[in-house]
Structure formats: structure tokens, C-alpha cells
Structure 1
């Protein structure tokens, strides 16, 4: 469990500390990996949950729930403002 948490911290730090002049490319093997990619993309773009919620015209706490549950309850209509 500690190793998993440490890996998550390292991944987060690599996303927020990346060289912004270099494009970031994410690869996924299946659609089941898409929710994690959405979260990683937001972090890499240095967009807060609050800012993304404003852009999507949804409440910040709703976006937090979506991310906490890896978008399992989100529909395309609810996140496509």
C-alpha cells in the first residue's frame, strides 16, 4: 500500500514538474484507462479541479466526485458543456 501511494506521488510530481515546452503524450490500451488519463491530463495542464469545473459549467464538488470515482457516474452530457 505504501509502495502504491509512493508511486502515485511520484507520478503526480512528474506531471506537475514536467517541462511545459515538451508535449505530453498519453497512451492507453483500453477505454477503461480513460478516466485516469483525464485526471492526469488535467494535472499535467496545471488546471485545478475548480478551474475545470468552471470551464465545464458544473459544480466543483461534482467534478471532485467524478474524479474520486474515476468518472464512473459521469455521462458525456454532464461533462460536455
Structure 2
């Protein structure tokens, strides 16, 4: 069982490395398309776009009028605590455009009570743990 979990983590690291290499080796003359299924993953887009643009945190900070320390803190914390305006500055500096962006608003199930910060954080944690569950479902143990 431990071997399976370790293999799952190794596979995830390999996928992250491959994604990083894809981002850093992408032709800078060709736009890169980054997709998310949930607006909660917008910080991933900002970080990946910076990497693909081959910009350091310092260079991005200079482009969007923030400090290097702010960019480092924002990225470390998945842009939690960043103002909407700061996120827009980063998006503008990276020239990020949204194409064909559709947002689904299911009015029949619209929540009528305030959402707490804890619920918002737990929904992101649930999404990440669901990714792990899906990876485990797709995991094929090696037969020795």
C-alpha cells in the first residue's frame, strides 16, 4: 500500500516536472493556452503564465507596480490576501486574456445564506483531495 502511495506521489511529481518543462520550453512567439475548471484555480494560471513568460517575481513586480515581496507572498499563498486590483495588475502585466469564458450560474440552486471563509477553504481542499482520489483510482499497481 505504501508503495502505491509513493508511486502516486512520484507520478504527480513527474507530471509537475513535465508541465514545468513544457512551460519553460514553450515558444515565446506562440500564445500558450492555460485552462482551469474552477475560478479557484486562477492563481495557478497567474503562476504558470509568469513561468511561461520566463519572468522572475522581481520582473513581474516591476511590470505590475507591486513589490517583489508582494508577488512572492501572493504566489506562496495562492494569491489569498491579494486584492482584486492587484490580481488585475498581474493579469494585465502578463497580458492574460480570457477567451470564450463561460460562467454557469444555476439560479435554481443559488445559495441564500452567506458563505464562510472556512467553507470556501474546505471546498478548495475537497477539490484537491478529489484530484488525489481520482489519481488513486487511475493508479495501476506495478506487478512484480
Q: TM-score, normalised by structure 2?
A: 0.50
Question: More relative contact order in 1 or in 2 (CA 8 Å, sep 6+)?
Answer: 1
1:31 aligns with 2:39: yes
Alpha-carbon deviations, 1:26-66, whole Å to 9, x = none? 11111011100110011111111111111122210111010
Larger radius of gyration: 2
Name 1:44's counterpart in structure 2: 52
Q: TM-score, normalised by structure 1?
A: 0.83
Name 1:21's counterpart in structure 2: 29
Q: Provide the alpha-carbon RMSD of the alignment.
A: 1.8
Residues in 1 aligned to 2:41 and 2:11: alpha-carbon distance in whole angstroms = 21
Q: Which runs of 5+ in 2 are unaligned?
A: 1-8, 91-144
